[in-house]
Amino acid sequence: MEINDIINLENLIGYQFSDKALLTQAVTHPSLGSGKSINSHYQRLEFLGDSVLGSVLASWIFSEFPKDKEGEMSKKKAMLARGGNLARIARKIRLEEFIKASRSEFCLETGFRDSLLEDAIEAIIGAVYLDGGYENARKVISNWIPLFQETIEGASSKFNPKGQLQESLQAKSKNCRIAYRIISETGPDHKKNFTVELIYNGKNMGKGVGTSKRLAEENAAQIVLAKINSI
């Protein structure tokens, strides 16, 4: 990678590398490392960065959401660390401009695949950790906290269809009684599927299916919401 690109990328992520080769490795896709040393591309750094990112996010969520129970914190962490969200952040910070990959990995219409961008951003975290330690890696990730907050804020309404449905029906009628009733359970104990019926003021409004009671209820609420909004 050219020295100007290295400087620009360092400015982008907010960290100056002592070992510039680590940064180059972090943005080099295996498609350009074929037949070379495993340290010529980002796969090993990605493995390390994934763990560092998980630790930083867990600590931030623990401090930022003191009323959350373990399950709620785990859900937030999974949402923030999933590939699609990391790819979104990678695009926001213009990481695509610095990734070195074969032409087959790039599409003129959509750019790099989400999975590639996810790997690259994790590799950069791993590279910062190796070069400057945990605290510097934490600082780099902290620069992206506003982007992580956007994800949580955007999901707060999207992932709460039961609350949305409650508000929508209450706006239509003060006499609003919503109930969720399990009508079937299928599959072995470790892999069950639940079907839930949503009852509104004694009337069956729709059904939802999910791998847990909560997901089945949320899916039922989404279905009923879609019906209401289409009227």
| Residues with catalytic function | 50, 122
What does the angle CA 128 – CA 104 – CA 1 come to, to the nearest 5 degrees?
A: 35
Residue 181 bridge partners (DSSP):
197
Tell the residue number behind the tokens 């999207």, with chain if given.
158
Task: Take residue 52 and report the two structure tokens written for it.
Answer: 């560092």
Pairing of strands 106-107, 193-200: unpaired
Residues in the chain: 231
Q: What angle do CA 213, 74, 190 make, to 5 degrees?
A: 40
Q: Provide φ and ψ at 15, rounded to 5°.
A: -155, 135
Whole-number Å distance between alpha carbons of 172 and 137? 50
Query: Please, is 157 exposed, middle or buried when counting C-beta atoms within 10 Å of its C-beta (0-12, 13-18, 19+)?
Result: exposed
- Among 174, 215, 225, 221, CA closest to 198: 221
The CA angle 202-166-81, to the nearest 5 degrees, is 130
Q: Which residues contact 86 (CB under 8 A, 6 or more apart)?
A: 117, 118, 121, 122
